[in-house]
Structure 1
Amino acid sequence: MASPRAYWKGSLKLSLVSCPVALYPASTSVEKTRFHMINKETGNRLKQQMVDAETGDIVESDQKGRGYELKKGEYVEVEKEELEAVQIESNHTIDIDSFVPRDEIDKRYLDHPYYIVPDGKAGIDAFAVIRDAMKDKDRVALARIVLTSREHVIAIEPLGKGLVGTTLRYPYELRDEGDYFDDIKSPKISKDMIELASHILDTKAAHFDPSKFKDEYENALKALVRRKASGKPVKAVGRAEKPDNVINLMDALKASLKGGSAGKRRAHTAAPRRAPARRAAKKANRSAARTRKAG
């Protein structure tokens, strides 16, 4: 297997101690099933082209540029060389600014993970010193790094023999939870219900084991492609009917505690749907009763 290509190379710096390092993406989407747009008549793959929004003309590669929209339809062009001239130290250096307790980092800020490894033999000692000092303190280093022409804050912590760095989002990138949570009602829930729910949580207690994660949709896509490629028919699967709202929450909690499958069945049937004929009959009876009362 060919060695992966480094995503970034530079120096990791802690005060006056520094060492050359390389970054490698810790995640990949290579195994994901992907589809291409094709011409259904010829079976050939389609190619996208850039088109001028006003003239409709196709724009060639040497005519493409970057522009920032000042106001609707008015752009200021920024050259590649001008962007490269915006030099900051973190272009080539991961400069550690501070160390913070791990549990103080809000998980909403976590973005993309990277493996950080020594780049060559020269800086291995310095790399090990920084890594092991962090292990002893049980803290996460916060530093700055430039990736894809953007400066990011990166949280660095030990992982085995190396380090793992996770880029963090800036506060302006996060939406305010109040915009979504403020309208949630606060109903009065009995202590018994909370205790029952807590018991259900206890019965489902486990340890984090990502090896048990199964991407059912990805597996279904692969099966679909295999069937199509072998010329076998693909049958459409009917959508599962959505369960009605559970009328008695306490009954649903008790049923869930007795057994997961039984709980699901009872929850699904707690509010059975009435047949259209039955609804029509009840409506007719109500109308007749109102007529008798009026008379």
Structure 2
Amino acid sequence: MAPPRAYWKGSLKLSLVSCPVALYPASTSVEKTRFHMINTETGNRLKQQMVDEGTGEVVEKDQKGRGYEVRKGKYVEIEKDELEAVQIESTHTIEIDSFVPAEEIDKRYLNNPYYIAPEGKAGIDAFAVIRDAMKDKDRVALARIVLSNREHVIAIEPLGKGLLATTLRYPYELREPDDYFDGIKSPKISKDMVELAGHILDTKAAHFDPSKFKDDYETALKALVKRKAAGKSIKVAEPEEKSDNVVSLMDALKQSLEGKKSGKSAPRRAPAARGRGRSAKKAHRSSARARKAS
């Protein structure tokens, strides 16, 4: 198996101590089911083109540029060399600025995770010293890195033999919670209700285990694609009718707790396919593909 390809290479620097490292994305979407846009009449894949908003004409590659909208419909063009002039100098260095307690990092700031590993044998001692010092002090490093011409703040922490780096959002990228929470009323909730809810929480107590995460929608998508590719029919499920029964909050809590105690739980259903069949149109598409194949 070929070694993974590094997303970024450079140096990890702590004061006068530095070592060569490589950055690898810690997450992937390769296994997710993806769809392409196709012509439903011919079955051919579609290609996207850039079109001038004013003239409607297709724009060639050498005519494309970057522009910032200063007012409605008015753009100032930014040249490539002008962008390069403002690039940050720390392009190939992860500069550690400080160490903070992990519990102080607001989870809303966490963005994309990466693995940091030593690059080659040179500097592996320095890498291990920085990693183990963070383990001993139970601290997370805050550093700066340039990715895709943008400077990011990253949180670095030990993970096994390597390091886990997570890019952090800037404050201007977060929305204020008050805009969403200020309108929430504060009803009077009885102590009995809270205690009942607490008992339900106890029945669902567990430990964090991502191996138990099941993507039911992805499983259903794969099954759908497999059946279609095999030429099998797809049965579109009818939408469920919503119950009009009104149950008081206290009754709902009691019934939930009783159901958990007896070991009963509502069965999980795979996501239903949406939409209605269009048999006539599908038949027309199939005949078009058949003509193409012949």
TM-score by length of 1: 0.86
In structure 1, distance between residues paired with 2:248 and 2:266: 13
8 Å Cα contact 2:199/2:257 also seen in 1: yes
Higher normalized helix content (fraction of residues): 1
Which structure has the higher relative contact order (CA within 8 Å, separation 6+)?
A: 2
Structure 1, residues 159-192: CA drift from partner, whole Å, max 9, x if none?
A: 0000010001111111111111111111111111
Match of 1:110 in 2: 110
Contact 2:141/2:155 (8 A) holds in 1: yes
Query: Which secondary structure state, in structure 2, belongs to the residue aligned with residue 179 of structure 1?
Result: helix
Query: What is aligned with 1:76?
Result: 76
Aligned to 1:281: none
Structure 1 range deviating more: 255-264 or 15-24: 255-264
* SS of equivalent to 1:259: helix
Matched, 1:3 2:11: no
1:200 paired with 2:200, answer yes
Residue 66 of structure 1 pairs with residue 44 of structure 2: no
- The residue correspondences of 1:181-260 to structure 2 (distance < 5 A) are 181-244=181-244, 246-260=246-260
Q: CA deviation at 1:262?
A: 5.6
Judged with a 3 Å threshold, the aligned counterparts in structure 2 of structure 1 residues 4 and 246 are, in CA distance, closer, same or farther, namely farther
- Counterpart in the other structure of 1:18: 18
User: How much has 1:264 moved relative to structure 2?
Assistant: 6.1
What RMSD, in angstroms, separates the aligned Cα atoms of the two structures? 1.6
1:285 aligned residue: none
* Higher-Rg member (1/2): 1
The unaligned stretches of length 5 or more in structure 2 are: 268-294
Q: Distance in 2 between matches of 1:40 and 1:247?
A: 47
CA distance 1:46–1:263, shift in 2 (3 Å): closer
Give the aligned partner of residue 145 of structure 1: 145
Does the C-alpha gap of structure 1 residues 243 and 143 become closer, same or farther in structure 2, counting only changes over 3 Å? farther
Question: What's the CA shift string for 1:191-213, capped at 9, x where partnerless?
Answer: 11111111110110000000000
Percent of pairs with identical residues: 80
Partners in 1 of 2:253 and 2:206 — Cα distance?
A: 20
Equivalent pair of 1:257/1:263 in contact (CA under 8 Å): no
Q: Where does the alignment leave 5 or more consecutive residues of structure 1 unmatched?
A: 266-295
User: Which amino acid in structure 2 is aligned with residue 137 of structure 1?
Assistant: K
Partner residue of 1:271?
none
Matched residue count: 265
SS of equivalent to 2:239: coil
- What residue number does 1:175 align with? 175
Deviation at 1:243, TM superposition (A): 4.3
Kept after mapping to 1: 8 A contact 2:88/2:149: no
Quote the Cα distance in structure 2 between the aligned partners of 1:56 and 1:112: 38
CA distance in 1, matches of 2:125, 2:89: 23
Counterpart residue identity of residue 144, structure 2: R
Letter of the 1:35 counterpart: F
CA gap of 1:211–1:264, structure 2 versus 1, over 3 A, is closer
Shift of 1:239: 2.5
CA distance in 2, matches of 1:204, 1:85: 56
AA aligned opposite 1:10: G
Distance 1:240 1:141 in 2: 50
Are the equivalent residues in 2 in contact too, given 1:255–1:262 (CA < 8 A)?
no
Aligned in 2, Cα 1:22/1:263: closer, same or farther, shift over 3 Å?
Answer: closer
SS in 2 for 1:253: helix
8 A contact 2:197–2:253 mirrored in 1:
yes
Q: 2 CA distance for matches of 1:21 and 1:149?
A: 19
